[in-house]
């Protein structure tokens, strides 16, 4: 069992497969020209599996693959199939571009739920956010997943003045589709141009939805980082991830392994523990994992403890989102 000093048991591991991506979302990528990590410094498939097995032996029940874009790795299929053999719930967060070609692998690995990032339902705005003209490809891949009965959750980062006007268009999408929309408060990371006035909060999102729909709260599962809601008569549902205005740290069970094999005990931690070098040196990695999680801060990596309106995003010590793995 992996626990921290506040008694939180950690049984959910998020593994970033790469910091590379075929999109250029401005809120995720650092502003300056960014060199992706060379392949030699990334965990190899056997190393991902070896580390994952260690975590699973210590009680990890759920693994999420993320990135960067996890499906741009040439050996993604090998990793996914390997992890699919472990006794865990395997899930993934992806931008949705490579679903069609990877579908047989996803099915073989037993993946039952996929989170797809989609911040707008307007093709031109999609291009503006991602710098890639593939809106229709992503939409058709979402349909493909639904046809194959793989549950789809849509991650939508809400940014004031950019896509907050589309909140209820996303809600309308849930009327006849069994999808869950996850509205995410915009978070600050190294070089992502975050300012508090671009943030659209949980309360603001709820207010917009309640203007047009009857909203009923749904009880959250333990460790859930989202507040869940339903709308009578809608096949789908929605949730809000309010990391900035109402964080969920008290029940946190998450650990993050970066693509270069560093363990982060919190999305906002300023430190990290190098597991990959120890693994490559044939050293015992378990004590490093236990020590890292034991040292986890109570809330938000001990960094975002001020009210979000007073936050100086540039003073936060962290990687960019694309190098952590969202």
Q: Which does 29 bind (CB under 5 to 8 A by kind): ligand SAM, ligand SF4, none?
A: ligand SF4
Find the residue with minimal CB distance to ligand SAM.
326
Using the rule CB under 6 A, which residue among 117, 190, 201, 258 binds ligand SAM? 117
266 touches ligand SAM by CB under 6 A: no
Query: Of the two residues 94 and 269, which places its CB atom closer to ligand SAM in the complex?
Result: 94
Q: How far is the CB of 78 from ligand SF4 (least distance, A)?
A: 21
Q: Which of 121, 109, 101, 246 is nearest to 171 (CA)?
A: 121
Using the rule CB under 6 A, which residue among 8, 10, 67, 261 binds ligand SAM? 67
Using the rule CB under 6 A, which residue among 93, 97, 190, 292 binds ligand SAM? 93
Per-residue string for binding with ligand SAM, 178-207, x by CB under 6 A?
Answer: ------x-xx-x--x---------------
| Beta-carbon contacts of residue 174 (< 8 Å; ≥ 6 apart) | 180, 181, 231, 234, 235, 236, 237, 238
Query: Of the two residues 4 and 260, which places its CB atom closer to ligand SAM in the complex?
Result: 260
Query: Of the two residues 23 and 55, which places its CB atom closer to ligand SF4 in the complex?
Result: 23
C-alpha to C-alpha distance for 22 and 28, rounded to whole angstroms: 12
Residue 244: C-alpha distances to residues 24, 47, 300 (Å): 23, 34, 9
Query: Of the two residues 85 and 136, which places its CB atom closer to ligand SF4 in the complex?
Result: 136
Q: How far is the CB of 196 from ligand SAM (least distance, A)?
A: 13
Sheet holding 151-158, edge to edge: 216-218, 227-230, 237-241, 180-185, 151-158, 113-117, 89-94, 62-66, 12-16, 254-257, 262-264, 273-274
Query: Of the two residues 135 and 213, which places its CB atom closer to ligand SAM in the complex?
Result: 135
Which phi and psi (to 5°) does residue 181 adopt? -90, 130
66 touches ligand SAM by CB under 6 A: yes
Q: How far is the CB of 68 from ligand SF4 (least distance, A)?
A: 5
C-alpha to C-alpha distance for 12 and 20, rounded to whole angstroms: 23
Q: How far is the CB of 50 from ligand SF4 (least distance, A)?
A: 25
C-alpha to C-alpha distance for 234 and 213, rounded to whole angstroms: 10
- Interface with ligand SAM in residues 269-298 (CB under 6 A): none
The residues that touch ligand SF4, with contacts defined as CB under 6 A, are 21, 23-25, 28-29, 67-69, 95, 117, 322
Encode burial over 14-46: b for 16+ CB neighbours within 10 A, e otherwise: bbbbbbbbebebbbbbbeeeeeebeeeebbbbe
Residue 322: C-alpha distances to residues 12, 185, 229, 292 (Å): 20, 17, 29, 21
Which residues of this protein are in contact with ligand SAM, per CB under 6 A? 21, 27-28, 66-67, 69, 93-95, 117, 155, 157, 184, 186-187, 189, 192, 321-322, 326
């Amino acid at each position: 069992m992996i626990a921290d000093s506040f008694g939180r048991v950690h049984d959910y591991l998020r593994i970033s497969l790469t910091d590379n991506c075929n999109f250029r979302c401005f809120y995720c990528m650092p502003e300056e020209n960014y060199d992706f990590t060379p392949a030699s410094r990334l965990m190899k498939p056997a190393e991902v599996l070896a580390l994952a097995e260690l975590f699973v032996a210590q009680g990890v029940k759920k693994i999420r693959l993320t990135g960067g874009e996890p499906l741009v790795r040439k050996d993604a299929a090998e990793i996914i199939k390997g992890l699919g053999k472990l006794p865990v719930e395997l899930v993934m967060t992806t931008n949705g571009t490579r679903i069609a070609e990877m579908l047989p692998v996803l099915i073989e690995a037993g993946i039952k739920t996929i989170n797809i990032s989609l911040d707008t339902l307007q093709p031109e705005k999609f291009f503006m956010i991602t710098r890639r003209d593939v809106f229709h490809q992503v939409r058709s891949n979402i349909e493909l997943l639904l046809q194959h009965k793989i549950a789809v959750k849509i991650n939508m980062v809400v940014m004031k003045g950019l896509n907050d006007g589309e909140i209820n268009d996303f809600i309308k999408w849930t009327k006849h589709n069994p999808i869950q929309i996850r509205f995410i408060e915009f978070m600050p990371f190294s070089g992502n141009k975050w300012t508090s006035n671009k943030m659209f909060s949980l309360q603001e999102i709820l207010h917009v939805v309640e203007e047009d729909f009857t909203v009923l709260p749904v009880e959250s599962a333990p460790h859930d980082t989202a507040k869940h809601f339903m709308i009578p008569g809608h096949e789908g549902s929605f949730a809000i991830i309010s990391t900035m205005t109402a964080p969920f740290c008290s029940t946190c069970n998450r650990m993050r392994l970066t693509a270069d094999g560093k363990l982060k005990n919190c999305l906002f931690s300023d430190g990290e523990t190098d597991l990959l070098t120890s693994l490559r040196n044939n050293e015992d990695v378990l004590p490093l994992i236990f020590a890292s999680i034991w040292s986890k801060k109570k809330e938000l990596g001990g960094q975002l403890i001020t009210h979000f309106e007073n936050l100086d995003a540039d003073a936060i010590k962290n990687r960019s989102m694309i190098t952590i793995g969202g």
